[in-house]
């Protein structure tokens, strides 16, 4: 594995996992008023399209990173609408 691949892997882990602190904060605080649901909706659509792109190009790295991002962003949307109605 050359270091360029390592660079891509580290970048992919960062962009895929970045939403986890926001998911945790929303789950703990139950407060989402300052968040923009449009951001998570567009992100979910975008990484969904990237996942389809990866399937059509048979590229496992694109499928995995964006597939995980899709589920994390979709979860964030669910938390947003659940807590928004509660507050």
Q: Residue 87 gets which letter from DSSP?
A: -
Largest CA distance in the chain: 50
Q: How far apart are CA 40 and CA 30, in angstroms?
A: 17
In whole angstroms, how far apart are CA 35 and each of 43, 84, 87?
13, 10, 13
Number of residues that bind its own copies (CB under 8 A): 39
- Considering the complex, state which of residue 1 and residue 14 has its C-beta at the smaller distance from its own copies: 14
11: contact with its own copies by CB under 8 A? yes
10: contact with its own copies by CB under 8 A? yes
Could you say which residues in the range 12-71 bind its own copies, by CB under 8 A? 12-15, 17-22, 24-26, 29, 31-36, 38-40, 42-43, 45-47, 49-50, 52-53, 56-57
Nearest to 61 by CA among 3, 9, 1, 2: 9
Residues contributing to the site for its own copies (CB under 8 A): 4, 7-8, 10-15, 17-22, 24-26, 29, 31-36, 38-40, 42-43, 45-47, 49-50, 52-53, 56-57
């Amino acid at each position: 594995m050359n270091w360029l691949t390592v660079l891509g892997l580290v970048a992919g882990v960062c962009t895929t996992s970045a939403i986890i602190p926001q998911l945790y904060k929303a789950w703990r605080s139950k407060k989402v008023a300052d968040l923009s649901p449009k951001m998570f909706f567009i992100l979910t659509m975008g990484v969904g399209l990237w996942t389809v792109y990866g399937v059509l190009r048979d590229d496992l790295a694109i499928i995995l990173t964006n597939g995980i991002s899709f589920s994390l962003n979709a979860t964030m949307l669910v938390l947003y609408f659940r807590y928004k109605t509660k507050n």
